[in-house]
Amino acid sequence: RTKGTNALLHYSKVLDGADLTPDTIRVSAEELAEAHANASDEFLATVRAVRKNVLDFQTAILHKDQTLSRDGVNLRQRYVPLHRIGICVPGGAAAYPSTVLMTAVPAQAAGVREIAVVAPPTSFGANNPDMLATCHELGVTEVYRAGGAQAVASLAYGTETIPAVDKIVGPGNMFVALAKKLVYGEVDIDSIAGPSEVVVLADSSTRPDFTAADLLAQAEHAPGSSILITWDDATLDNTYAELNRQVALLSRCELTIHSLESYGALIRARDENEACQLTDEIAPEHLHIATDNAAELCEKIRNAGATFLGNYAPVALGDYAAGPSHVLPTGGTARWASGLSANDFLRAGSVIEFNEAA
């Protein structure tokens, strides 16, 4: 707050081992253009397809002004986009151009004019060509080599090189999450995100190989909860066998096994009603209902960040391409919190007008 850019440079050196200067904190327009020019046609086509999916969905759900007029009184709920927002993009164990899409595009759908992206100064962060190419494709020109708590503080308080924002969104590690909690009130934030999680509800119609892949996709991402709930013995046994078969094929086998052993569970419920009750108590970030009555069970469950129905809607589809944002409530907060959307970048205000007679 007081030392500005010097503090950002200091902590980037101490925590990230990055030798930055005030001139190299921001990724240049030339670097963004070069990354875009060097990106493969297939990659850019994918980015464009995902952008369209996200933009179409976010535009469809965007709040519109509402007016109530009667007897000389006009009451209006007016929605105004935030002027400037900051996006935290992780860059530790993998590159996340998908996070740029799932945060920047909803903000653009809402009409936000200025978007600043911060990412760690690493090969998976602000130095990652795919992440930079995605920013350029979306028209996001303000990208900074800054990660962790120091990046959050820079966005919240502003420095000589990074102007302050109105709201900070995007996932990160526990230091990013705690920093967002500390600066809330100075700026708005989306949420205080914890480890990722998935619950899969399965019955005798569910394909065990698909279910295992869904659980493993979550477990190999990072240590988090991967939970199967079923009321069918054969499904439980077959999914367990598939987990053991598929995990051996993963390049991140050891991390995945650690995640499953530490945070995974295969739960045998008495029936589907108990399975739904357990799911509501967990309030998972991701819920995949892979049963033959998925739509029916969906209506019984109140608490989930994002819900995926049927054998052919894996969680990864929503995380990467479907349209809703993958920034979702974790740690049971889906009991009251919602996933990020274009509406989170709007501010509602009341407009009140009376004529003389009223």
Residue position matching structure tokens 């209902």: 289
DSSP state, residue 25: S
Which residues, 6 or more positions from 318, have their beta carbon under 8 angstroms from its beta carbon? 286, 306, 308, 324, 326
Residue 338: burial class (beta carbons within 10 Å; 0-12, 13-18, 19+)? middle
Q: Which two tokens stand for residue 149?
A: 């708590």
H or E element that contains 202: strand 197-202
Instruction: Determine whether 136 is an active site residue.
Output: no
Name the nearest CA neighbour of 105 among 126, 124, 79, 85: 85
Neighbours of 121 (CB within 10 A): 24
Q: How far is CA 187 from the centre of its chain?
A: 19
Q: Decide the pairing of beta strands 73-81 and 66-70.
A: antiparallel
Whether 164 contacts 158, CB under 8 Å: yes
Considering the candidates 220, 221, 285, 326, report the single residue annotated as catalytic: 285
Residue position matching structure tokens 């990013």: 176
Instruction: Determine whether 285 is an active site residue.
Output: yes
Considering the candidates 36, 221, 286, 326, report the single residue annotated as catalytic: 286
Which residues, 6 or more positions from 268, have their beta carbon under 8 angstroms from its beta carbon? 230, 231, 233, 236
Cα dihedral 238→240→242→243 (10° resolution): 160
List the strands of the sheet with 346-354, edge to edge: 66-70, 73-81, 346-354
Catalytic residues: 285-286
